[in-house]
Structure 1
Amino acid sequence: MALQDPIPVTYTVVFPHGCYIADEVEPVKDFDASSNGRFVQARDKQTAELVWQVAVVDGDPTLKPAQKTVAVKILAPVQPVPPRPMPGLPFTPVEFNGITITPYVNAASPGRPAYSIKIREMYAPRQTAQPAQHKASAGRDAA
């Protein structure tokens, strides 16, 4: 069985350690339609929506440096606005919703699979609960 359509996945499957915006959101060029200095923005083949792109840094500490940055394509009628930068952080944390991946064979690395990541929504990470205090420190505080 060959998969023909993009595969829906969750954010935590693709970025279990989180990810961070590394560049500006930019329109993706339709290389077939653009010519003679005239820029034509790409449209998604399934939805016909405009395609935008942003580079993100994967927070996985086990990745090699060359594997850390990945381009994420965003399907949206207008240019998406990334979350506001967080004071004191060099990169802006981000989460995505409506994620699909499309596997393909990378011509630059024959035999190695690659994935195109498309998303529908980009937003600031949700607040998470604070970690519970360590029992040893809780015992010290009670004494």
Structure 2
Amino acid sequence: MALQGPIPVSFHQVFPHGCYVVGEVEQVKDFDASSKGRTVYAKDKTTGELVWQVAVMDADPTVKAGQKTVAVKILSPVQPVVPAALPGVPFVPVEFDGMTATAYVGQNTGRLAWSIRATAMRPPRSAAPAAKAAAAGKDVAA
């Protein structure tokens, strides 16, 4: 099979309506390598980069409430910085570059789930395509 490992995806494929930071950027712990009193931080198996994580809220109005918050893992040698907040907006809009998706079966649910990774976090360059079309009064086919 040709598909092996992470699948490259674009930001707008994962978050067509955009997303907002709702948590702090935290370094991911490697629970298998850590021991009592000694914390080891996760590194990406392919690149060797440190793994960071940030919680984001999907702005898609059709997503169920329990599925709105998603953890995005960022591979970076240094802690990524959340973009500056916009005046009058309660959450910080953000976009990710170098995104990949890896499917796995959730241990607790037995259902298909996705691990989302990126190589960079930045302020949005422009409105999401669906949001642009909605502002223009056009229908967008999914």
Output the TM-score relative to the length of structure 1. Answer: 0.86
User: Paired residue for 2:116?
Assistant: 117
The alignment's C-alpha RMSD in Å is 1.7
Query: Distance between the aligned counterparts of 1:76 and 1:63, measured in 2?
Result: 29
Query: Distance between the aligned counterparts of 1:99 and 1:52, measured in 2?
Result: 14
User: Paired residue for 2:5?
Assistant: 5
User: Paired residue for 1:32?
Assistant: 32
Structure 1 outlier segments of 4+, above 6 Å = none
* 1:83 paired to 2:87: no
For residues 18-75 of structure 1, the C-alpha deviation after alignment (integer angstroms, 9 at most, x for no partner) is 0000001000001111112221110011111100000000001001111000000000
For residues 70-101 of structure 1, the C-alpha deviation after alignment (integer angstroms, 9 at most, x for no partner) is 00000000000010111111110000110000
Q: Which amino acid aligns with 2:34?
A: S
* 1:104 paired to 2:104: yes
**Runs of 5+ in structure 2 lacking a partner?**
137-142
Within-5 A mapping of 1:126-141: 126-127=125-126
Q: Which amino acid aligns with 1:121?
A: A
Give the CA deviation at 1:2. 7.0
- When structure 1 is superposed on structure 2, of 57-66 and 120-129 the one drifting more is 120-129
Within-5 A mapping of 1:45-60: 45-60=45-60
Decide which structure has the larger Cα Rg and report it: 1
Output the TM-score relative to the length of structure 2. Answer: 0.86
Query: Distance between the aligned counterparts of 1:27 and 1:117, measured in 2?
Result: 15
